[in-house]
Every structure is written in C-alpha cells, then in structure tokens.
Chain A
Amino acid sequence: MGIIVIGMNHKTAPLHIRERLSLSCDDNSRMLDEVKDISQVREVMYLATCNRVEVVANIEDSVSGVERLKFFIFSHGNLSHDEMKECLYIYRDHEAVRHLFRVASSLDSMVMGEPQILGQVKDAYRHCVEHKASGIILNKLLHHAFRVAKRVRTETGIANNAVSVSFAAVELAKKIFGYLSGKTVLIIGAGEMSELAAKHLMNNGVSKIVFANRTYENAVRLANDFHGIPIGFNLLEEKLKEVDIVISSTGAPGYIITERMIVEALRRRKNRLIFLIDIAVPRDVDPAVEDIDNVFLYNIDNLQEIVDENVKNRMREADKAEAIIADEVTNFSNWLNTLEVVPAIVSLRNKADSIIDNELEKSLSWMKDMKEDEKEKIKILASSVINKLLHDPITRLKEESQNGGADSYVAAIMRLFKLETDD
C-alpha cells in the first residue's frame, strides 16, 4: 500500500508535451477505467489542467506498480524515453501527500495563489468518485487536501492582491469608485489586454462597455462579443463625458486623448471622477492629464509595478503556507500509520469475539437452569475480561503506529495470536 503521484507540470514539461499527454487522456472516463485495470492499482484519480497532468494513485506493490503506472503514462502520451525522464516527476508517500496539498493550495501553480486549481482538483475527485475509482485512502486524502487549501487561503495572504495587470486595474478602479456595478467602461482599440480587462470588469459588475475603434467593423465585432456598444472615433469625445473608466490600447503614433479633451469632458461631466488606463506603447493618453483634479491616469508600467509588489508579497506568504502544509502532512501521515495497524486490531477483536461465542455455546448445557439475567451477567463478565486483556496491547499498537514503527508489533501479534487478515 502506498500513495503515489506521477505527472508533469508547467515547470517540468513544455506545453507541447503536456498537450500530447493531456489530449491522449482526453476521454477522462476511459483513462480512469484503464488505470483501474492495472492489477496493483487500488485507487486512482486523474487530474489534467492546462498546466499539469497528474495521476494520483494508491498502489499495492511499490516497485512493479510504479513501473506499470509509468509505462501506462509513457505509452499514452507517446513520450520518448528521454522526454519521460526529463518531464515526469514521481512522488511517493509523504512527498506525494505534500505535493497534492501544495497543488490544491495553489502553491504549485504557475500564478501562485490563483483560485481555479482547487475547483479543478475537486472536479477531478468528483469524477474519480463517480467512476468508483476512489477508496478509503484517496477519499481521506482528497478531503484533507480540500481542508488544507481552505486553511492556506484563510490563514495566509497567498491569494490576496492582483498579480496580473488587468486584475490590478480592476482593483484600482474599486479603490476609486468603491464598486463597479452601474459603471461604464470605454475601450479604445483592440488587443488581448483590453479584452481581458473588459472581461474582468464585467465579472466585477460593470454593466456597460463601449468599444471605440478607428475601423468601425472591429468595434462592432468586439461589441458583439461583450454585448457592448460600438462607436467610431468621431464620437470619442462625446463619450468621454459619460464613461467612468477608459482603457486605451491603440497602435496610434500620437495621443488619442489630449489634455483639452479631458478638461472639456470633466466640465461637462460635472467633475465626476474618471479613471484612464493607458496600456498602449507609444502612449495614447497625454501624460499631462494626470495633473488634473479628479482624473487618474495609469500606464502599463504603473500597473506592472503594482503587480511586482503583489508578487513579492505572495512569495512572503508562501512561506507561511509551506509551514501549514508541513503540519498537515504530519497529521495525515499519522492517520495513514494508524491504518496499518487497523486490520490487525480488527482481526484480534474478531478472534476474541468468536472465542466468547464458542465458549458460551459450550456452557449452555450447565447454564440451562439459570435465570435469564444471570446468564446475561456471565456473558458480560466474559467479555469484560477479554476487553481488559486486549486494551493495553491495542493502545500500545496504535501508539507505535504514530511513531511509524508498528510493523514488527503487527507481525508479532499476528503470529502470537495466530491471526489472519484479508490484507
């Protein structure tokens, strides 16, 4: 019996290899069934995200089991021997538990602290339960991992503060406007960054997005994607008087938004605050506007500085998270160790119970004249003698298991009491 993690992530394998493995395993259910068919595999979970492909399993005989699991992944991903050697990692027992806890807590993620991974682990686990691929160990392990992830999230600041430019922009907007529902955003030009920002702003409650583009067709296309309003550049100045947030990312050589335009817009909008985000290089917004009251201008470098500061902060918090995980790995190992002695204890108890039953049956002949309550008292006496006798060895066995040295005791008990387990 042993927990094992075999897999690859964004650190060990380049995208094209992860892709190959992940695609071949695309049919998640078939994948699980096939791994389950490996005789040494007792329980198995399969986790695939865009940054990692992992198999978490409880396998019987470590050596041959690992080899067969490795071979399975190897053949599935169509990996060459070198690729496999370079990209795959294998964690066993404590290390496997630690790895899973780190993954679930988002310490192993490309963007440390990102929240999606926990949901992905949960999905993978649900899938595994649906296919009856989980058992006592994986169930306990995964539930423990979810608890650890929650602890890390609430007790450390690992998930605090934006670590992407577009999230940083959203956070700043919230510090200016309080909340974003009912606010209007103007997006000038097209580009990956502005689309991402538009998506984040919408997720945070922005209800109306206006897309401006020199080519009106492009504005219409974006507006269709985001249920926004397309406008041409001729209406830009008009719109500046109503919108709250402006994101500009055109390829224009000069300033699209000039100081005069902002001064004029501010007068017409009765000085309502306006937040300008200029992510274009060269810049779209005249830097002079930042000296105007109630106007806030951030360019790409300003936002990047915030992100850098936040990343540093998360690094510091990660140390706290590692300590929590170390703690929880010990907790889980303790439970796992107790598991080693459980079969011995169960069969010891079974044997004791059957002895009592047998002996009482034999005594029935001379007990037949006794009253019911007297028979009952004799039964109680017999089982309490047995319990007293077993109490100390069982306690001792559990204690030894916590120290990790129960093997010899289990063997001795099995031999001395002539026990057999199903194991």
Chain B
Amino acid sequence: MEKLLFKVALAAYFFSAVGYITSILVKRVFIAKTSTWVLLTAFAIHSLSIIVRWVGTGYSPVTNIFESLSFIAWAISGSYVAFQLKTKTRVLGAFVSPLAFLLMMVASVKLVDNVSMPAILQGYWVPFHIILSLVGEALFALACLAGVMYLIQDNLIKKKKSYRFTRLLPPLRDLDKINHVSLLWGFPLMTLGVIAGSIWARTVWGSHWQWDPKQIWTMISWFLYAFLLHQRLAIGWKGRKAAVFSILAFSILLFTVIGVNIFFLSVHNFM
C-alpha cells in the first residue's frame, strides 16, 4: 500500500516537473498552474505514504538515508507550495519539482518493506532530532535555490541582455524574500534539531558533545547560518550578497549531511 502510494507520488512529481519545464518553454501560465496542482497532489500522496509507513512500522519515517531523501523531497515540495500560494512565483517550481523527483528516484532504490531499527535509533528524541533537522535542511535547500535564481536574474538585469529570459524569472524582490523567510524558519528548526540530537546523544553516548566529525561540521554550518541570519537582520544584507552566502552555507551543509559520512569515520554513521 505504502509502496504504491510512494510510486504514485513519484510519478506525480515527474509530471509536475515536466509540466513546469514545458510551461517555461512554451510560455503558457495555464500549464504552470496545472503543474502546481499536480505538485500539490504529489505532496498530498507523498504525505499519505509517509504516514502509512510511520503507522505501519511504528518507527519514525526517517531511519535511513533513502527514507531521509524522500523526507527531504517531501519537506522541500511542502515549503515550496506554501511559498507559492503566498508569492505567486511559479517559476521556482521548475527547479523544485525536478529536485523533488530526483530525490525520490534515489530514495526509491531501497524501498524496503520493513526495516530493522538499530537499538541506538529507538530513543524518544530520535524522531524529533531527525524531522526537525531535515525540515530545516529542506528550507535551507529552498533558500539556496532562490539564491541561485536570484543570481541568475540579477545577472540578466545587470547585463541588460536577453530580456526574454528576465521576463521568465520571478522578480528579484520575491526571490530575496523566499531566501529570507526560508532562513528565518530554517534556522530555529535546525537549532532545535541539533538540541534534540545532543539530548539523545547524552542518553546513548554519555555526553552531549563527542568531537565527532559530524558534530563539528554541523557546528560549522550552524555558525555559517547564524552569521548569515545576523548579517541579514542586523547589518541589512540583502539581495546578491545574501544569495551568494546562502549558496555557500548550503554547500557546507550538504557536505555535512552527505560528505562527512564518506570522508570521515563518524559515530553518526547511519546518516
């Protein structure tokens, strides 16, 4: 049941991605509007599949890397749809829905029926830690995407060429706002996720802090985002600088989430 839902959601993500990209190529708002509804449907079905899995296994729905990827796809599409309803900039969908689709494709590789949960992951704090961190990371991913689009649009307007493409992309102000709001929500979520993790770490490893590479890199990312948020709120960073920095911070975060497990020996080896 839950596998079927997953596959339907995967297909829906695919169709919304195709729709969004087509709408840019043929410049028809109608197709983009339809794609938004398809994406919303994909998100709803995906939510259902996660719930069904959660209820079925009794464990939190994010216990391995594949489930996490699926969860990130879910969080990104969810936050994007929420933004879209507020800002009405559909073009970002052409980036978000293919990303969600790709994450889902990778996630579908190991679509196992039942996982045996390692004892270490059975604590009360685990689901809080994982869900808060992943939603935070999804919001940072969205901030990064908005940042990339901001730089493209900024460049097009500054170069004064290819006005055709300028017209296709959302206004700078909207992109900056998406970047800003994503950071504003992502940062406290990530912070809470880290706190939940450290509480749990104490119960299984005996202390909050182990000087583990995963923890060190997480701290680095956290400080980068704290710095960025500070610069935005207190110093008044806006536009280009904030966009560049949010892309930089996200690449460090991405390394923390995926790279650290490959290059370092970490106690945090489940993901």
Interface residues in chain A, defined as those with a beta carbon under 8 Å from any beta carbon in chain B: 161, 172, 174-178, 270-273, 290, 293-294, 296, 298, 302, 305-306, 309-310
Question: B164's closest neighbor in chain A, by CB?
Answer: A309
Q: How far is the CB of B78 from chain A (nearest CB, A)?
A: 23
Contacts of B235 in A (CB 8 A): 270
Contacts of A174 in B (CB 8 A): 171
If the complex has contacts A290-B158, A302-B160, are A271 and B239 also in contact, measured as CB distance less than 8 A? yes
Question: A267's closest neighbor in chain B, by CB?
Answer: B236
Among A161, A178, A272, A298, the residue within 8 A (CB) of B160 is: A298
Interface residues of B in 148-168 (CB under 8 A from A): 153, 157-158, 160, 163-164, 166-167
Contacts of A294 in B (CB 8 A): 238-240
Question: A306's closest neighbor in chain B, by CB?
Answer: B163
Contacts of B169 in A (CB 8 A): 175
Do residues A175 and B171 form an inter-chain contact, with CB atoms below 8 A? yes
Contacts of A298 in B (CB 8 A): 160
- Give complex CA distance A161, B173 in Å: 20
Chain B CB count within 10 A is highest, among A177, A178, A290, A302, for: A178
Do residues B158 and A296 form an inter-chain contact, with CB atoms below 8 A? yes
26 contacts between A and B (CB under 8 A): A172-B157, A175-B153, A175-B167, A175-B172, A176-B171, A176-B173, A177-B172, A177-B173, A178-B173, A270-B235, A271-B237, A271-B238, A271-B239, A272-B236, A273-B173, A273-B238, A273-B239, A293-B241, A294-B240, A296-B157, A298-B160, A305-B160, A305-B163, A306-B163, A309-B164, A310-B163
Q: How far is the CB of A169 from chain B (nearest CB, A)?
A: 12
Pairs of residues from A and B, 8 with the lowest C-beta to C-beta distance, nearest first: A270-B236, A178-B171, A178-B173, A271-B238, A294-B239, A293-B240, A302-B160, A178-B174
- Give complex CA distance A272, B240 in Å: 11
- Give complex CA distance A373, B259 in Å: 96
Q: How far is the CB of B56 from chain A (nearest CB, A)?
A: 44
Number of chain B residues close to chain A: CB under 8 A: 21
Interface residues in chain B, defined as those with a beta carbon under 8 Å from any beta carbon in chain A: 153, 157-158, 160, 163-164, 166-167, 169-174, 235-241
Q: How far is the CB of B244 from chain A (nearest CB, A)?
A: 9
If the complex has contacts A177-B171, A309-B163, are A272 and B238 also in contact, measured as CB distance less than 8 A? yes
Q: How far is the CB of A182 from chain B (nearest CB, A)?
A: 11
If the complex has contacts A273-B172, A273-B173, A309-B163, are A175 and B237 also in contact, measured as CB distance less than 8 A? no
Contacts of A175 in B (CB 8 A): 153, 157, 166-167, 169, 171-172
- Give complex CA distance A310, B206 in Å: 68
- Give complex CA distance A186, B172 in Å: 20
Question: B234's closest neighbor in chain A, by CB?
Answer: A270
- Give complex CA distance A309, B160 in Å: 12
Contacts of B236 in A (CB 8 A): 270-272
- Give complex CA distance A365, B188 in Å: 102
Question: B177's closest neighbor in chain A, by CB?
Answer: A178
- Give complex CA distance A69, B174 in Å: 58
- Give complex CA distance A248, B270 in Å: 61
- Give complex CA distance A202, B222 in Å: 44
Chain A CB count within 10 A is highest, among B157, B158, B163, B236, for: B163
Q: How far is the CB of B85 from chain A (nearest CB, A)?
A: 16
- Give complex CA distance A290, B157 in Å: 11
- Give complex CA distance A393, B157 in Å: 68
- Give complex CA distance A298, B157 in Å: 9
Question: A310's closest neighbor in chain B, by CB?
Answer: B163
Q: How far is the CB of B29 from chain A (nearest CB, A)?
A: 12
Known: A175-B153, A293-B239. 20 other contacts (CB 8 A): A161-B167, A175-B157, A175-B167, A176-B172, A177-B173, A178-B170, A178-B171, A178-B173, A270-B236, A271-B237, A271-B239, A272-B236, A272-B238, A293-B241, A294-B238, A294-B239, A298-B160, A305-B160, A306-B163, A309-B163
Contacts of A177 in B (CB 8 A): 171-173
Q: How far is the CB of B26 from chain A (nearest CB, A)?
A: 12
Contacts of B157 in A (CB 8 A): 172, 175-176, 296
Contacts of A172 in B (CB 8 A): 157
- Give complex CA distance A294, B243 in Å: 11
- Give complex CA distance A273, B160 in Å: 17
Q: How far is the CB of B172 from chain A (nearest CB, A)?
A: 5
Q: How far is the CB of B150 from chain A (nearest CB, A)?
A: 11
Do residues A271 and B174 form an inter-chain contact, with CB atoms below 8 A? no
- Give complex CA distance A294, B158 in Å: 10
Question: A301's closest neighbor in chain B, by CB?
Answer: B160
Q: How far is the CB of A241 from chain B (nearest CB, A)?
A: 12
Contacts of A161 in B (CB 8 A): 167
Contacts of B153 in A (CB 8 A): 175
Question: B242's closest neighbor in chain A, by CB?
Answer: A271
Contacts of A271 in B (CB 8 A): 236-239, 241
Q: How far is the CB of B248 from chain A (nearest CB, A)?
A: 15
Q: How far is the CB of A403 from chain B (nearest CB, A)?
A: 38
Contacts of B163 in A (CB 8 A): 305-306, 309-310
